[in-house]
Amino acid sequence: MKICCIGAGYVGGPTMAMIAEKCHDIEVHVVDLNADRIAAWNSDTLPVYEPGLSEIVERRINKNLFFSTEVKPTIKDADVIFISVGTPTKSYGVGAGSAADMGFVEGCARMIAEVCEGPKIIVEKSTVPVRTAELVQDVFNGYDKGHLFQILSNPEFLAEGTAISDLESPDRVLIGGEMSEAGKEAMETVVSVYNRWVPRERIITTNVWSSELSKLVANAFLAQRVSSINSISAVCEATGANVDEVANAIGMDSRIGSKFLKASVGFGGSCFQKDILNLVYLCEHFGLPDVATYWRQVLDMNDYQRQRFTRNVIHSLYNTVQRKRVAILGFAFKKDTNDTRESAAIYICRDLLEEGANIAVYDPQVSADEIHGLTSDKVEVCSSAEEAVAGAHAILVLTEWDEFKTLDYKAMYETMVKPARLFDGRNILDIEALRELGYEASGIGKG
């Protein structure tokens, strides 16, 4: 079997690497028109940081895992073609601000139709709106080749930072397809790939529409939990309750569970906001405005939490950050990834820069180019936390990197402008211990 994945990003690269790792007899090709990205995959510095990923790529590269820009010939030779390209929120035209931009997916469908003459299995790996398979089928029908392709949905549920462990031992693998004999046969072909290492009972097959919708709904539910506990963090600060204690108490209820109940400065990443906006657009499209309003509120609460955090920082610094140095620890949207898409740190830095602050940023994996994307001469990119903190008026912990839990904050305080402040936006530090040492420190929902 030959597999081709169009798109060498955060989903396509790690997923195909895992398939190559587990299925040595399958040729796995990842193609992308971005030559720099492909060159990075073929180098010692991968474009995607995930713990354990580089070791897998090193073992399989040029054995049964290949990265190239030879898109059309690779598509033509493949038996199974995964589409793993971006579906960003539209910034123009109908549905701007909420609908998904399907231009890349349509482009892939047209390219496949142009170059492929034999039967293929097409797998949607991108996060797409419900009924995207219909769009792809329409493109194929326009080329009079609709009968050559079976279109499946196989959404990814991996989380950045734990992608390799998620891929190696997933909660479930979801595969949706047409409930015809040909459709079921195509699904079983893809099932047989995952079944090399995933127990069959964890592989779910559904109709294609259920599969497409399940991805949006899963992310919406997870984001809803984050926004729910963040709303309670504001109540905790107002009443003197501790949000960690509240989360622990309700998380022990088996009906609720403990996951995604960590109060923080807000969720980020490429999925939650985009997928909720997509769900909002679908609800509005199908005449369900009340449902759309309900889900949009999850995003409104996320915005509120980021803004509330920034207001607290400014208020604690005597209502002005003009010309003050603020140390930002962590710029990725979460630990163990170099992805900054929709990171809370970006929004908070922008707000502080507008207030006149000088920003000193340190992140273990995010490149200086990504951080300088803030386009301000008031942004300094540092090579260590200690460098960022020296001479600062405040420290903001905005990503929960493990190394930030063990820093010598006592020593770092001595290098800061007094009175110094620390704001734990990810609730990873022992705030009470720092306060007992006589330092000004606060965490979300802890005052």
Active site positions, annotated:
271
Q: Which amino acid is at 236?
A: C
C-alpha neighbours within 13 Å on the C-beta side of residue 181: 0
Backbone dihedral region for residue 2 (phi beyond 0: left; psi -120 to 50: alpha; all else: beta): beta
87, 100, 174, 205, 378 from 214: Cα distances, Å: 16, 16, 9, 12, 43
Closest by alpha carbon to 106, among 59, 77, 142, 80?
A: 142
- DSSP helix/strand/coil, 153: strand
Query: In angstroms, rounded to a whole number, what is the distance separating the alpha carbons of residues 427 and 309?
Result: 12
**Half-sphere exposure of 51 toward its Cβ, with a 13 Å CA cutoff?**
11
- How many whole angstroms from its chain centre is CA 369? 19
CA dist 334 and 260 (Å) reads 13
The residue type at 402:
D
What is the arrangement of strands in the sheet containing 65-68, beginning at the earlier edge strand? Answer: 65-68, 27-31, 2-6, 80-83, 120-124, 149-153, 173-177, 203-207
**DSSP annotation string for 392-419:** -SEEEE-S--GGGGSS-HHHHHTTSPSS
The token pair that represents 133 in the structure block = 């398979």
- Assigned token pair, 253: 């209820």
Q: How far apart are CA 5 and CA 9, in angstroms?
A: 10
Q: What is the spatial distance between Cα 442 and Cα 447, in angstroms, rounded to a whole number?
A: 6
Phi, psi of 337 (to 5 degrees): -150, 155
Closest CA to 158 of 339, 313, 318: 339
